[in-house]
Structure 1
């Protein structure tokens, strides 16, 4: 009986220790987590899903990407806010679909193309110059055929993947706190945010 009590006390002590540790971690990461949420709120992403992982379908995905970005460069490059970008995306969804579908047909494929604006979960994504934290983002989603292949995604606003903005330092459209997140070298912070956001998704 005494041993059982000892075990229960040990479990309780461990649980308390874990709780205290989590509280410390949450407190320490709170400013970073808040800035990550601001990044998500101020970003509009582009998400393209290929029909499959075949070389041909992956190449087609990139041709669709190039055609869409070229056709929409002036519009998204001129957006002055996330709200502007959302309005443009909403208005241009059918035009984006038309450009994507036409590209698919011109390349000799009959895959249907679907385009929509939605709020979806993304894992942490590291680019050459910046990193986007995991979580839910608004995104223009282009689905090609069976949408069973590796996807491609970038940022429409700020226009980080829009050709018209290639030479511009468009991360300056983020606040100073947001820019610190984007350029943060602390990978453990991004890992912690991704774990937290994943757990949030799993309980929905």
Structure 2
């Protein structure tokens, strides 16, 4: 009887410790679904070194322009609205950057669903599929591209060492190839709001 009670108590403690992690992991898998993020995709005119360099300069300008606006966004819908409301300004900024640097071609900007291949960056995997993205095509758009996750703010650079560059607070740890930040107070607040 005493051994059974001890086993039951230990089993209860294990379940009590694991349950919040499992519940939060289930929620965190949705954090990087195609429905909960917005990418930015910048495609260079060509692979010429000058075109690749200006692509990176435009990337800097776009990220500098959009990051402060999206920093306070609470969800993907709010972020989408902020980007959509500023599409003309975004396109004007890209074109101005090209003009100031002496490039004779323009830039086209669109906020829409675009197909992306599977990308692995360390333990973080974004599966192949259609994602909402701000796409900036420079000139003919036949060069190497750069992309980043605008919301939530995680940036990646293609063609380098696949290093994850955090623009916000660095996540605590990874679980099952999904970004998983265990935040007890957020979990507790969420579970309290469901009552």
TM-score over 0.5 for the pair: yes
Whether 1:109 aligns to 2:103 is: yes
Report the Cα distance in structure 2 between the residues aligned to 1:179 and 1:157, rounded to whole angstroms: 20
Shift of 1:183: 4.7
Scaled by the length of structure 2, the TM-score of the pair is 0.66
* Structure 2 residue corresponding to 1:127, chosen from 121, 125, 128: 121
How many equivalent residue pairs? 144
Shift of 1:124: 1.0
Aligned-residue RMSD, C-alpha: 2.8
Whether 1:182 aligns to 2:178 is: yes
**What secondary structure sits across from 2:150 in the alignment?**
strand
| Aligned partners of 1:36 and 1:133 also within 8 Å | no
| Aligned partners of 2:37 and 2:76 also within 8 Å | yes
* Structure 2 residue corresponding to 1:145, chosen from 103, 114, 139: 139
Whether 1:71 aligns to 2:65 is: yes
Shift of 1:126: 2.3
| Aligned partners of 2:110 and 2:134 also within 8 Å | yes
Scaled by the length of structure 1, the TM-score of the pair is 0.63
Indicate the structure with greater helix content: 1
Unaligned runs of 5+ in 2: 1-25, 157-165, 181-195
Unaligned runs of 5+ in 1: 1-31, 185-204
Q: Do the aligned partners of residues 110 and 166 (structure 1) sit closer, same or farther apart at CA in structure 2, a change above 3 Å counting?
A: same
